[in-house]
Amino acid sequence: MSVDQNVRLPCGRTARNTLAKVALYEHLGDTYGSPPTEQHAALYSRWAQGEWGIVVTGNVQVSPAHLSLSRDIVIPPQITPEALEPFKRLADAMHGLEPGSVDTTPRDAPKSLAIIQLSHAGRQSMNLLGGRKPFAPPLAPSAVPMRTKTNDSSLSFLTHMVDALMFTPPQPMTISDIDVTIEAFIRGAHVAAQSGLDGVQIHAAHGYLIAQFISPKTNLREDEYSAQKAPLHFLHRIVSTIRASDTIPRDFVVGIKLNSADYVDTGPEQQTKDIEELNAEREARALSHVQEISSWRMIDFIEISGGDYENPTFITGLKSSSPRQAIFNQFAHKAMGVVDIPPASSEPFLPSPPLILLTGGLKTPALLASALAKGHAHLLGLGKVGIIQPDLPRLLASGDQASLSIPPPEPDVTGLGAPLPASAPISARVERVLLALLLAVVQRIPAQPPKLLGATAAVAWYTVMMRRLAEGDPVPDYTIGGTASIIRMWFWVRPDSTVQSRSSLGSWFKMGLLGVTIGVIVGCLH
């Protein structure tokens, strides 16, 4: 299989190539969440020009009280024509259409498939940013608090202090809570189908709510949703209800994002035989989940990912040569071998098992081709590379590989960025001086931040680059460093935003102040 070859999904839809622009957090909504905005439409219209096989949005939250970093897209509480309109505009943008125009492409023709990622943050929904009253507990399977991992014992007090500030211990979900949440996921699928989107991806990774139900670390329940007895029961109810709906097309795409590397710990202090045996058991457990999901014959693709807020690999990113990236590749390859099993039902919904989508570390055409040639995956996911090179699939299809053979450089997320050009305006130079003073102050703080805060600068830089894509500005801009990115990410007002009861100036300032506080801590990196 080649990178630009058409890929037919089990539901019958065909992606125009093997490349997927996977979910990236956009931070383009209103304070405390909103429907898709004009900025979302502009951003995804830009990716539509790149001719990706699949394009997946960032988190679309099914609960307005369980946001991630506040400016999420949120599924409406009721499906009305007015509520659907912003999602229809997003669908048009993702398909490369003008608003209100009709897509004349045959439904079964190869095209870029527009997918929204349905998510619920669960216990990882932060204080102040999560859409609840300050320090109100989020819902989760069990009352297991967040504890960010650190290998430096001297940082344990700082880590626990930040955890206590950012995360409130969760409230265990009742059966009624579970039913309401599952219904919210189903409503999200109906919103997607009625808006002209091609499908949904159910986010069951990165430590969010569904992953919390799957993991015995976060699910201590003893009822029918127990992680020991039925770890996939919560997920199965969501998927089976979507597939059973008479108003959702049979060829509606349903994907899942699933953790892999979280079952394997590769720390240097853990290279003992006992740990290796434990890791083998964890990997076997993960593969059993892939196998069971495959037996449902209701899923079109499974994206292999990893990390959570306590060990944020998915935020910090993976180098193509890193041990965890090798584990991703190996796990995806093994997953390819366990999906092709007989279906659990004598009358399966889909005729074939799900495809495997591998994400992380695929930064050059050679790495993309190698992943396919070695049988690591059917589909190849790119996130940050898709920001830097939004036209990547189209360029590869045209034969322009020479300009893409070298991975893009990493941004300066711990400092001020590349030197300003001689043509830079005075305002940019004044900003650089002020940022240098701020960085000089915070570098005197005799501590390093926890992993989650250290990852925030990289998130902020790529967020700012996505805004530049939406605004039509050149990307990347390496003169913007991590310090400026954090400030620009948080102190930002949408040009066409309207003042709402929960999106007041005070809320905006509180969010910005919190973001800059995080930035001060991140400035300690050196």
DSSP per residue, 306-373: --BTTB-HHHH---TTSHHHHHHHHHHHHHHHHS-S--SSSS-SSSSPPEEEEESS--SHHHHHHHHH
Closest CA to 407 of 327, 317, 526: 317
- What's the whole-number average pLDDT of the chain? 85
Average pLDDT over residues 485-500: 76
Amino acid at 462: Y
Q: Which amino acid is at 522?
A: V
Which residues contact residue 511 at a Cβ distance below 8 angstroms, ignoring those fewer than 6 apart? Answer: 31, 70, 128, 129, 490
User: What's residue 281's pLDDT?
Assistant: 81
Q: Can you spell out the DSSP letters for 446-460?
A: S----HHHHHHHHHH
Return the domain boundaries, the chain: 7-404, 426-522
Give CA–CA dist 300/20, Å, rounded.
14
DSSP 207: T
Question: Regarding predicted confidence, which is higher, 265 or 156?
Answer: 156
How many other CB atoms are found less than 10 A from the CB of residue 460? 28
- Angle among Cα 515, 520, 524 to the nearest 5 degrees reads 135
pLDDT at 21 > cutoff 60: yes
The region, left, alpha or beta by phi > 0 then psi within -120 to 50, assigned to residue 84 is alpha
Per-residue confidence (pLDDT) for residue 283, from 0 to 100: 84
pLDDT confidence tier of residue 366, bands split at 50, 70 and 90 = confident
pLDDT at 419 over 60: yes
pLDDT band at 165 (very low <50, low <70, confident <90, very high): confident
Q: What are phi and psi of 113, to 5 degrees?
A: -90, 125
pLDDT beyond 60 at 449: no
Chain segment 253-273, per-residue pLDDT in tens: 999 999 875 544 444 444 455
- The rounded distance, in Å, linking the Cα atoms of 13 and 81 is 26
* Structure tokens, 281: 């058991």
Residue 444 clears pLDDT 70, i.e. is over it:
yes
Task: Find the range with the poorest average confidence among 133-137, 335-339, 365-369, 438-442.
Answer: 438-442
Indicate if the pLDDT at residue 445 is higher than 90. Answer: no
Tokens 């089990």 map to which residue?
A: 10
Residue 150 pLDDT > 60: no
Q: Which residue has the higher pLDDT, 320 or 445?
A: 445
Q: What is the dihedral of CA 243, 244, 247, 253, to 10 degrees?
A: 10
Tokens of 123: 């216990």
**β-strand pairing of 113-119 with 199-204:** parallel
pLDDT > 70: percent of the chain: 82
Higher-confidence position of 141 and 4: 141
Print burial letters for 414-426: b (CB count within 10 Å at least 16), e (below 16).
bbbbeeeeeeeee
Predicted model pTM: 0.90
Fold of 7-404: TIM Barrel (3.20.20)
How many Å is the Cα radius of gyration of the chain? 22
Exposure b/e, 328-358, CB count within 10 A at least 16 = b: bbebbbbbbebbeeebeeeebbbebbbbbbb
| Structure tokens belonging to residue 345 | 């039902």
User: Could you give the angle at the alpha carbon of 458 between the alpha carbons of 385 and 209, nearest 5°?
Assistant: 90
For residues 250, 83, 74 and 391, what is the CA-based torsion angle, rounded to 10 degrees?
Answer: 70
pLDDT band at 364 (very low <50, low <70, confident <90, very high): confident
pLDDT at res. 270: 46
Query: How distant is the alpha carbon of residue 368 from its chain centre?
Result: 20
CA 497 to chain centre: 24
Closest CA to 3 of 47, 50, 53: 53
pLDDT digits (tens, 9 = 90+) for 105-136: 888 889 999 999 999 999 999 988 899 998 99
